[in-house]
A and B are shown apart, each in its own frame.
Chain A
Amino acid sequence: MSGQLIAAEGLPWPPRVEDFYPPDLAGPWVTKFTLMIWLAVGLLIIFFMATYRNPKLVPSKGQWMAESLYGLVRDNIVREQMGNAGIRFAPYFTVLFAFIALTNLFGIVPGLQISPNSHIAFPIVLTAITYVMYLYIGVRKHGLGRYLKQNLIIPGVPWPMHFLLIPIEFLQNFINRPVTLAVRLFANMFAGHLILLVFTVGGFVMLASDNVFIQVTSVFSFLMAILMAFFEVLVALLQAYVFVTLSANYVGSSLAAEH
């Protein structure tokens, strides 16, 4: 009991933004977050290399898992959003999906317990790639002038309306898309971690209370924390799916012929 009291006293309450910024391990380049990113990269490379070192037509269990991931992204995301012409992007989107899903799941892995994507820098990097990709593909396919025209000018509208519509379209296609893409992922991971902090740390704080009734009530707080951890698994995978689906949709809209 006394040990828990000490632990509870050491925990910051209520959770703050600074909880998301643990002290650097060795300068700003080597932090928990950058190490988690390297860990994710290493795990994914090992996983895919190991399971796909010697692929067979009748797959082993590992190969089957890797292929299911690829099949999910290829058939359920990329082909749905981009059609058959987009299949050549399926490998990249598979890597993207695996990376986001794994880094999101770090949020509930004991010892790590926070997703790198709760620092907006990483969603920004991933979004930037999608953004550059769909701008580049659109301009290369249609030419700069026609690409802008397709994205900014809605056909069949009385001309004075364009004073209103062009800024709106610009905002929607070139500003909102990337910003929402990055912020959605970041905010989900940020909020998820915050919720887990509230119920876990909150449970310890209640346990440290002098009031027996509050101490007993802490059980519900811990139960809630467990429940939310499962919920976070769902959110982690769902957000990876959403991010990749929207990325594929944006790139697909650049591939499409018309507005």
Chain B
Amino acid sequence: MFIAAEGVEHHPLVPIWQELVIGSIAFALLCFVLLKFVMPRMEAMYQARVDAIEGGLKRAEAAQAEANQLLEQYRAQLAEVRTEAARIRDDARADAESIRTDILAKAREESDRIIAAGRESLAVERQTTVRELRAEVGGLAVDLASRIVGESLADEARRKGTVERFLTDLESAGAR
């Protein structure tokens, strides 16, 4: 065998046909095994990994978007609450103002009323005093007159009329 092989002259560009056969069979076997049992799983794993990474990115983006949305929402709520607070404050201020005005008005009214009542009672008092004084002055005058003349006037009606007339004259003189 060795001698036979040694004797053959080889040209590097001429293939040995047995090697063509062996090469074909061996490479076909390699392709068959790897393409059937390994490579499909590798591509699947590759896709799964791409999905996992892109899915993770997508999830992160979604979370970010949700966070932004929440932030917006909170900001809106905060602004709403602020306007609400301002409104309440304004309302309270307005209420206080109106209450103050009310109380003032009431107090003024009360004082007016008290003053009026005082005046009225003063007037009544005065009236009464005047009336009493008048009666008293009448009596005193009559007493004085009767004492002066020494006699009681017989005619009651006439006496009354005289006194009344006198007092009216006094009043009208006073009013003048």
Chain A residues with CB under 8 Å of chain B are 17-18, 20-21, 23-24, 26-29, 31, 33-34, 37-38, 40-41, 44-45, 48-49, 52, 55, 57, 66-67, 70-71, 74, 87, 90-92, 94-95, 99, 116, 119-122, 124-126, 129, 183, 186, 190
**Nearest-Cβ distance from residue A197 to partner chain B, whole angstroms:** 14
Instruction: Check A94/B39 contact, CB under 8 A, given A34-B18, A190-B12.
Output: yes
Q: Does B38 contact A (CB under 8 A)?
A: yes
Using a Cβ–Cβ cut-off of 8 Å, how many residues does chain B contribute to the interface with A? 39
Instruction: Check A24/B1 contact, CB under 8 A, given A95-B30, A99-B27, A99-B30.
Output: yes
Instruction: Check A17/B12 contact, CB under 8 A, given A24-B2, A94-B39.
Output: yes
Instruction: Check A120/B13 contact, CB under 8 A, given A45-B30, A45-B33, A95-B35.
Output: yes
In the complex, the answer to whether B16 meets A121 with C-beta atoms within 8 Å is: yes
Interface segment among B40-48, B87-95, B103-111: the answer is B40-48
Q: Does B23 contact A (CB under 8 A)?
A: yes
30 A-B residue pairings within 8 Å (CB atoms): A17-B12, A20-B10, A20-B12, A21-B8, A23-B1, A23-B2, A24-B1, A24-B2, A33-B19, A34-B22, A37-B26, A40-B30, A41-B26, A45-B34, A48-B34, A57-B48, A57-B49, A87-B43, A94-B42, A95-B31, A95-B39, A99-B27, A119-B15, A119-B16, A120-B15, A121-B16, A122-B19, A124-B20, A125-B23, A129-B27
Task: Tell me which of A17, A24, A27 has the highest count of chain B C-beta atoms within 10 A of its own C-beta.
Answer: A24
Chain B residues with CB under 8 Å of chain A are 1-2, 5-6, 8, 10-20, 22-24, 26-27, 29-31, 33-35, 37-43, 45-46, 48-49, 52
In the complex, the answer to whether B16 meets A28 with C-beta atoms within 8 Å is: yes
B contact residues around A40 at 8 Å (CB)? 26, 30
B contact residues around A38 at 8 Å (CB)? 22, 26
In the complex, the answer to whether B41 meets A90 with C-beta atoms within 8 Å is: no
Q: How far is the CA of A75 from the CA of B43 in the complex (A)?
A: 12
Q: How far is the CA of A44 from the CA of B37 in the complex (A)?
A: 13
Q: How far is the CA of A99 from the CA of B34 in the complex (A)?
A: 11
Q: Contact partner of B40 among A17, A37, A74, A91, CB < 8 A?
A: A91
B contact residues around A71 at 8 Å (CB)? 46
Q: Contact partner of B38 among A52, A119, A190, CB < 8 A?
A: A52
Instruction: Check A29/B18 contact, CB under 8 A, given A55-B45, A91-B35.
Output: yes
Q: Contact partner of B46 among A44, A74, A190, CB < 8 A?
A: A74
**Nearest-CB residue, chain A, relative to B24:** A125
B contact residues around A124 at 8 Å (CB)? 15, 20, 23
Instruction: Check A21/B40 contact, CB under 8 A, given A28-B16, A57-B48, A126-B27.
Output: no
Q: How far is the CA of A183 from the CA of B23 in the complex (A)?
A: 16
**Nearest-Cβ distance from residue B69 to partner chain A, whole angstroms:** 31
Q: How far is the CA of A55 from the CA of B43 in the complex (A)?
A: 11
**Nearest-Cβ distance from residue B145 to partner chain A, whole angstroms:** 139
Instruction: Check A37/B12 contact, CB under 8 A, given A66-B42, A95-B31.
Output: no
In the complex, the answer to whether A70 meets B46 with C-beta atoms within 8 Å is: yes
**Nearest-CB residue, chain A, relative to B44:** A55
In the complex, the answer to whether B12 meets A125 with C-beta atoms within 8 Å is: no
In the complex, the answer to whether B12 meets A41 with C-beta atoms within 8 Å is: no
In the complex, the answer to whether A29 meets B41 with C-beta atoms within 8 Å is: no
